[in-house]
Structure 1
Amino acid sequence: MIPLFPIPEPFVRYLAEYHAQRDYFECHEIMEEYWKEKKEAAYEGCWLVLIRIAVMQYHARRGNGAGARKLLAKATEEIEPERMDELGLDGRRLQQMLERRRSAWPSDGDVVYDDFNLPIVDDGLLEAAVRASEAMGARWLSSGEDADESVVHRHLTRDRTEVVEARQASIKKRGL
């Protein structure tokens, strides 16, 4: 399978972080920045689903069942399998994986972390992601169970001043 366009470098970085470092917060940061830049792109929905999957994983590993289930529901409802196919993933299989997980997590207490590997079917995409993981000194398909606390709780180590200020400005603009 050949993606319909050149593979975006942020997508490759996302896949490397996701499957090698298991740094789901960083995945979210990478893809959110790209998604915001490419707001009108045909793949906007795909990028958003990938963001939601990373954040779902982040919450699941940290024991936030409510947050994980919320993101899982959104990703399951929004996924466009045909578009995911065009990105080099098996979109139908990913959709089925999300649906199975949603059935397995009927309540917040049922959320259990596992690595939830994305079904990459394009050989070029897989090769690029593996090379990127090696370049960062990480092992492809590492276990997220082995991640250190700084990765598991990444949001606690990041300066989120810009995000907080943007939220406050938005609230002020709406007159709340």
Structure 2
Amino acid sequence: MYPKAYLDYLYHFHCDRDYFECHEVLEEYWKEKEAIDREIHWVGLIQIAVGLYHHRRGNFKGSLRMLQNACRVIGKESSAINALGLDSGRLVKMLDERIVCVTKQEPYVSMNLPIADPDLQLSCDALAKSASKVWGAPSDLLDGSLVNRHTLRDRSDVIEERRKQLELRRKG
């Protein structure tokens, strides 16, 4: 009923708190469609993960920007978010509360998305159990590979693409 990428996102969001991976799996799914057909509600979910990633790292400015954007998207796309088995109204309220925390530069605390569909929650619980994970476990703030995941990835393809685009602009 729900896309596998979305279930993977929920798993990483709630089980290992790998917000970087949440971003990766959902962005890849979102980009499968042509730009004109892409659904913006996926961006809101991606931005929540990125905002929490930044908050956990103490990047309050980056976190605030992402969470504010996510809150706007989720609010505007409430029907689509509800169709994904989440309670959009509750999620907007949670994001508003997190924005206040980030504005006050309070420390990161893990959050769970408000799943409203009991069948979705059962599927998620089964995913967690099959991986011997605990649904809703807090982030391991001492795990540097989790907290600083973006610094550990291979970015050579991104750097090469930027170099090519810069060269094209210089020629053109």
> 1:122 matched to which residue of 2?
117
Deviation at 1:40, TM superposition (A): 5.7
Check conservation: 2:55, 2:102, Cα contact below 8 A. no
Structure 2 CA distance for partners of 1:131 and 1:164, relative to 1, 3 Å: farther
Amino acid at match of 2:155: R
TM-score between both structures, scaled by the size of structure 2: 0.87
TM-score between both structures, scaled by the size of structure 1: 0.85
**For the residues of structure 1 that align with 2:153 and 2:102, how far apart are their CA atoms?**
29
> 1:16 matched to which residue of 2?
11
1:18-52 deviations in Å (ceiling 9; x for gaps): 00100111111111111111356977212111110
Deviation at 1:134, TM superposition (A): 2.5
Check conservation: 1:46, 1:83, Cα contact below 8 A. yes
Indicate yes or no: 2:64 matched with 1:74: no
**For the residues of structure 2 that align with 1:136 and 1:91, how far apart are their CA atoms?**
28
Higher RCO (C-alpha 8 Å, min separation 6): 1
Amino acid at match of 1:87: L
Amino acid at match of 1:66: K
Gaps of 5+ in 1: 1-5
Structure 1 vs Structure 2: percent identity of aligned residues?
Answer: 39
> 1:95 matched to which residue of 2?
92
**For the residues of structure 1 that align with 2:59 and 2:124, how far apart are their CA atoms?**
28
Deviation at 1:165, TM superposition (A): 2.4
Structure 1 vs Structure 2 CA RMSD: 2.2
Amino acid at match of 1:95: V
1:96-118 deviations in Å (ceiling 9; x for gaps): 211222234336xx243111210
| 1:109-148 mapped onto 2 (5 Å cutoff) | 110-146=105-141, 148=143
**For the residues of structure 2 that align with 1:42 and 1:156, how far apart are their CA atoms?**
32
